[in-house]
Amino acid sequence: MDFFRRDFKHISLVVSCIVLMGTDVSAQQKSIYHKGWIDFNKNGKMDVFEDPSQPTDARVADLLSQMTVEEKTCQTATLYGYGRVLKDEMPTPEWKNEIWKDGIANIDEELNGLAYHPKSDTKYSYPYSRHAEAINAIQKWFVEETRLGIPVDFSNEGVHGLNHDRATPLPSPIAIGSTWNKSLVYEGGMIVGREAKALGYTNVYAPILDPSRDQRWGRVVETYGEDPFLIAELGKQMTLGIQDQHVAATVKHFAVYSVPKGGRDGNARTDPHVAPREMQSIFLYPFRRVIQEAHPLGIMSSYNDWDGVPVTGSYYFLTELLREKFGFTGYVVSDSEAVEFIYTKYHVATDAKDAVRQAFEAGLNVRTHFTMPGAFINPLRELVKEGKVSMKTLDSRVSDVLRVKFKLGLFDQPYVADPKKADEIIDPKKTKDFVVDMARQSIVLLKNDHNFLPLDIKKTGKILVAGPLATATRYLISRYGPSNIATPTVLDGIKNYVGNRAQVSYAKGCNVVDATWPESEIINTPLTTDEQRGIDDAVQQAKQSDVVIAVLGEDEDQVGEAKSRTGLDLPGRQEKLLEALKATGKPVLLVLINGQPLTINWANRYVDGIIEAWFPNNAGAQAIAESIFGDYNPGGKLSITFPKTTGQIEFNFPFKPNSQANQPSQGPNGYGKTSVNGALYPFGFGLSYTTFSYSNLTINCDGHKTSDIQVGVTIQNTGKVKGDEVVQLYLKDMVSSVVTYDTQLRGFERVSLAPGETKTVKFTLHPDDLSLFDKNMNWVVEPGAFEVRMGSSSEDIRLKKQFTITD
């Protein structure tokens, strides 16, 4: 991780220029800050750990040798920031009496102005320079007021963009997944990392690498999708983007977290029914790839169990797999309450203290929860004193934390060198084009009957925008993204685009949910008088319009963390509203605002067009309007299967041969009349306003299982408008020693082509792309025939060609 090493030869000049909270650096600072090094332990000499020229491992060992048990154990816990756990915005004299007087591993979400959390409201979150100065002041306290001066790792969330007041917003991860654009995701990661660094954060909790295999699960919205290869490729780029800005990326949630029984969330995030080979091939695959190829400095352990063992208390997961097999060298932080659940939820520990022991011995480095850090540190100290946790184990766990801090450069430059620059670095005007571009590229065109879209503004004089999501805004603000950003509505976007070229009216029609929701997902109730009146009003306005744009779906109250669903239909009265609008005879466009696939079977059959917008960023309104009227040609693809009914679940990609086959038309088990077959929209699906042809599939393979394989294909835009195509490479292992997936995504590239333009897209298949988890539970490449399938979705395969591995 040499890219974290910086040139600090002018460190004394930098430190002497720092202005902390409006005051010059103190005499105490001047006494420990020297040219090129800092006297953290205040002994008047340069120790090995204070010498930037020394190897990292030597610095870690030297510092560890000087630490007391109290100081070591303080490096094993998180202190949640102001308004979450910490009661003080700035250091106070009382801090000398708190447990962190001996240091702390990290402080999370400090002064970030968390969305919709009034207790976290602070004057230090904005302007950006004020936050950087505040972080410097807090860091200064730990450097100068603790005995060894060990700097703090300041962590924060970042899956929707940095979780900070007025940071750059990214779309929800499920929307990011629909871009299928690796370079775009890398740029998003760079923006998150750059803004974090400018604000004083040194560690970002992103990306989420969990595959969403049950569409009912509430956190589908926070994942890149269902396919492990797509998740690995995008997660790798997000990780690289963040860490290239000299900020740690902590990926989550390790592991098998995203498939709780029945898709249930909240307290039910447990009991994944996943076989060992499926776990390796689907749920661990993105973590293995990202760890080995992007080298994240952090991992968050999950609080589910697997096969009867809590993951955060599992030596197999946190040591054997994570460190010995995958080669992870950073530090592991627990998801909130994961340690406590070992005792309170799973009952495999005799008491809370025993839960601490199990987690720590398993391989956990840092405990995180919304309680004071002493709840973990004090029992750990007792365990060490009693000999139930060895000093060797304690030293090993603490070394991992210290190593990350050294790699981040915190022992060479613990402060934001120029806080004032934060106001220049974090500038919405500088990221505006990127924000719009990511919103555009995340949009998926699901239906376009008889080329209904794009709408011709010259032929559309009267437009009715209907539906409760047309004026909603809360879905634009995530618990894990920026706060206090502008939130233009879809109605705003359409009105701004149309201007005075057409008349735009609005009818809400109904609320997102009815009064009895979620019970209404299982028990239908008659419309109330007010509900009928709302639909009738929308119908009357529709009759006076040329076209209806119905903006329907979910908001933040129906999908998200701890918000699973029992059904995936449009909630509340929205289906009835849509049917009533279509019954007017007017053409209807459905714009979906949602965080998980919806079973919109009626809409798919009867409305004229469907645009999937997911939970976009705050440029989503503009991107939706541009897509509707043709200034932008949607090119996104689904990163998750849309089932026709929850009764089909599990129904996703990849799948084992015949596991998702249609009901047989003859023979045993039925005659094809008892089952709803097929996906509503398959993985990788997405339409365009243009068409693309595929030709000239080439494969260059020397037959050796240790060699890379080169694949090429020619793509041409055969339509009349510019458009993006996501070229998808699927691979089928024709005969294997164990049952493999029917086909697997092993390459993709988003290309933009002008009308008539042709481009050759090239892919490299690595040996790992051909490997399977064999009978001995090892990843191997077996000799035999493989088939490359090139297409526009997992079901729309245009070209096929085989190659053979001989040895």
Is the Cβ–Cβ distance between 424 and 388 less than 8 Å? no
Q: Report the run of H or E that residue 786 belongs to, with start and end.
A: strand 784-791
Q: Which of 459, 549, 439 is nearest to 178 (CA)?
A: 439
Q: Is the dihedral of CA 346, 348, 352, 356 positive or negative?
A: negative
Q: Is the dihedral of CA 358, 364, 370, 376 positive or negative?
A: positive
- Which region, left, alpha or beta, applies to residue 585 given φ > 0 means left and ψ of -120 to 50 means alpha? left
Active-site residue identified among 210, 265, 335, 555: 335
As a whole number of angstroms, the distance between CA 347 and CA 313 comes to 12
CA dihedral of residues 86, 91, 97, 101 (deg, nearest 10): 90
As a whole number of angstroms, the distance between CA 156 and CA 205 comes to 6
Q: Which two tokens stand for residue 167?
A: 């940071």
Q: Is the dihedral of CA 212, 213, 218, 221 positive or negative?
A: positive
User: Exposed/middle/buried for 222, CB within 10 Å: 0-12, 13-18, 19+?
Assistant: buried
DSSP output for 480-505 = TS-BS-----HHHHHHHHHTTSSEEE
- Please tell me whether residue 281 adopts helix, strand or coil conformation: helix
DSSP output for 640-689 = S-B-S-GGG-S--SS--TTTTPPPPSSSTT--SSS---S-SB-TT--B-S
As a whole number of angstroms, the distance between CA 74 and CA 103 comes to 6
For residue 517, give Cα distances in angstroms to 470, 509, 649, 760.
20, 17, 22, 51
Number of Cβ atoms within 10 Å of the Cβ of 722: 17
Distance from the Cα of residue 327 to its chain's centroid: 22
Q: Which two tokens stand for residue 624?
A: 């939706």
Looking at residue 532, the DSSP 8-state letter turns out to be H
Which residue type sits at 534? G
Q: Which of 155, 176, 139, 411 is nearest to 298 (CA)?
A: 155
As a whole number of angstroms, the distance between CA 804 and CA 807 comes to 9
Number of alpha carbons in the 13 Å side-chain half-sphere of residue 481: 25
Distance from the Cα of residue 500 to its chain's centroid: 39
Question: What is the end-to-end Cα distance of the chain in Å, rounded?
Answer: 35
For residue 228, give Cα distances in angstroms to 356, 496, 738.
32, 39, 19
Q: Is the dihedral of CA 477, 481, 482, 486 positive or negative?
A: negative
Q: Report the run of H or E that residue 537 belongs to, with start and end.
A: helix 529-543
Q: Which of 210, 218, 208, 179 is nearest to 568 (CA)?
A: 218
User: Is 555 known to be catalytic?
Assistant: no
Looking at residue 555, the DSSP 8-state letter turns out to be -
Residues belonging to the chain = 807
Q: Which two tokens stand for residue 313?
A: 């208390």
Number of Cβ atoms within 10 Å of the Cβ of 499: 9
CA dihedral of residues 81, 82, 88, 92 (deg, nearest 10): 30
89 Cβ contact partners less than 8 Å away, ≥ 6 residues apart = 82, 111, 122, 123, 124, 134
Phi, psi of 103 (to 5 degrees): 105, 180
Which residue type sits at 165? D
Active site residues: 335
